[in-house]
Amino acid sequence: MPENDHPRVTPVCAEVIAAKAHVVLDTGTTELAGNGTAHRHPADTNVPEICDEPAAGRAMDDLAQQLLNTADRDIQSMTGNRPNVRQTSGRPV
């Protein structure tokens, strides 16, 4: 990869099936997969989007946690210091 070229982060699959979601992220050097599920209470009205959205969000959250853990390990292996990549400048975590 050229020195000034940035790795590409491309979602390979973002698929919601019923109340299950599976998301794959391929950075070119690492591939991570996140999974999420959601369940509708039997007494609730059957609105698939209301169940699909939390499942997709949970899959993306799972993927985000894995990506942050990978970044932690990579930084620590290069610097010897334990990083805190979970700090944000935008929304609070």
CATH number at residue 74: 3.30.160.240
State how many domains the chain has.
Answer: 1
Give the integer Cα–Cα distance in Å for 64 and 13.
15
Beta bridge partners of 46: none
Q: Give the Cα separation of 60 and 79 in Å (integer).
A: 28
d(CA 5, CA 1): 7
Q: pLDDT tens digits for 20-75?
A: 888 999 888 888 999 998 887 777 777 777 778 888 899 999 999 998 888 888 88
28: left (phi over 0), alpha (psi -120 to 50) or beta: left
Residue 7 DSSP label = P
pLDDT at 81: 82
Is the residue at 3 inside a domain? no
Domain of 17 in residue numbering reads as 10-79
15 near 21, Cβ under 8 Å?
A: yes
